[in-house]
Copies of this chain bind each other. A is one copy, B any other.
Amino acid sequence: MVAHPQPCLFSIEMNSITFQENTRSCIGCLRDSLKAMLGRFKGKVMEIAKQTKKIGEDDPRRIVHAIKVGLALTFVSLFYYIRPLYDGFGQAGMWAILTVVVVFEFTVGGTLSKSINRGCATLIAGALGVGAEYLANLCGEGQAFVLGVLVFILAAIATFTRFFPKVKQRYDYGVTIFILTFSLVAVSGSQATTNLQIAYQRLSTILIGGATCMIISIFICPVWAGQDLHNLITGNVEKLATFLEGFGGELFSSPGDESSVVQCKDDKEKSYLQIYKSVLNSKATEESLANFAWWEIGHGGFKFHHPWKQYLKIGVLVRDCACHIEVLSRCINTKPQVASEFQLKIQSTCKNMSIECSKGLKELSFAVKNMTFPSPAAKIHIQNSAATADGFKNILENSSLSTKTDLQEVMPVLVTASILIDIIRCVEEISVSVDELSQKARFRKPIKSLEKQQQLLHRGIVKPVNDHVVLEIRETGGDSVDNKKLRSGVVKPVDGISGGNDHINDKDQRDVGGLSTGEQKSSSV
- Which residues of chain A have a CB within 8 Å of any CB of chain B? 51-52, 55-56, 62-63, 65-67, 69-71, 73-74, 77, 80-81, 86, 91, 94, 97-98, 101-102, 144, 147-148, 151-153, 155-157, 159-160, 163-164, 176, 179-180, 183-184, 187-188, 190-191, 280-281, 283-284, 319-320, 323-324, 326-327, 330, 393, 396-401, 404-405, 407-408, 410-412, 414-415, 418-419, 422
Chain B contacts for A81, CB-based, 8 A: 144, 147-148, 187, 190
Chain B contacts for A159, CB-based, 8 A: 65-66, 69-70
Given A80-B188, A97-B183, 15 more pairs with CB closer than 8 A: A52-B160, A66-B155, A69-B155, A69-B156, A77-B147, A80-B190, A81-B144, A81-B190, A101-B180, A280-B319, A324-B327, A397-B405, A397-B408, A400-B404, A414-B415
Chain B contacts for A284, CB-based, 8 A: 283-284
Q: Which of B147, B401, B419 contacts A327 (CB 8 A)?
A: B419
| Bound-complex Cα distance A153 to B74 (A) | 10
CB A210 to nearest CB in B, in angstroms, measures: 15
Find the B residue at minimum CB distance from A287. B284
Q: Which of B69, B73, B320 contacts A326 (CB 8 A)?
A: B320
13 contacts between A and B (CB under 8 A): A52-B164, A66-B157, A70-B151, A70-B152, A73-B155, A77-B147, A77-B187, A81-B147, A283-B284, A284-B284, A397-B407, A399-B407, A401-B407
A63–B160 contact, CB under 8 A? yes
CB A76 to nearest CB in B, in angstroms, measures: 9
| Bound-complex Cα distance A148 to B179 (A) | 32
Chain B contacts for A73, CB-based, 8 A: 151-152, 155, 179, 183
Find the B residue at minimum CB distance from A104. B159
B176–A51 contact, CB under 8 A? no
Find the B residue at minimum CB distance from A411. B414
Chain B contacts for A70, CB-based, 8 A: 151-153, 155-156, 159
| Bound-complex Cα distance A152 to B75 (A) | 9
CB A187 to nearest CB in B, in angstroms, measures: 4
| Bound-complex Cα distance A55 to B408 (A) | 52
B401–A66 contact, CB under 8 A? no
Chain B contacts for A396, CB-based, 8 A: 407-408, 411
Q: Which of B102, B147, B190, B405 contacts A180 (CB 8 A)?
A: B102
Chain B contacts for A65, CB-based, 8 A: 159-160
A393–B408 contact, CB under 8 A? yes
Q: Which of B71, B184, B398 contacts A404 (CB 8 A)?
A: B398
| Bound-complex Cα distance A65 to B147 (A) | 21
CB A461 to nearest CB in B, in angstroms, measures: 47
A98–B190 contact, CB under 8 A? no
Chain B contacts for A63, CB-based, 8 A: 160
Chain B contacts for A320, CB-based, 8 A: 326
A102–B147 contact, CB under 8 A? no
CB A163 to nearest CB in B, in angstroms, measures: 5
| Bound-complex Cα distance A283 to B285 (A) | 12
CB A15 to nearest CB in B, in angstroms, measures: 46
Chain B contacts for A323, CB-based, 8 A: 280, 323, 326-327
B188–A94 contact, CB under 8 A? yes
Find the B residue at minimum CB distance from A401. B401
CB A141 to nearest CB in B, in angstroms, measures: 13
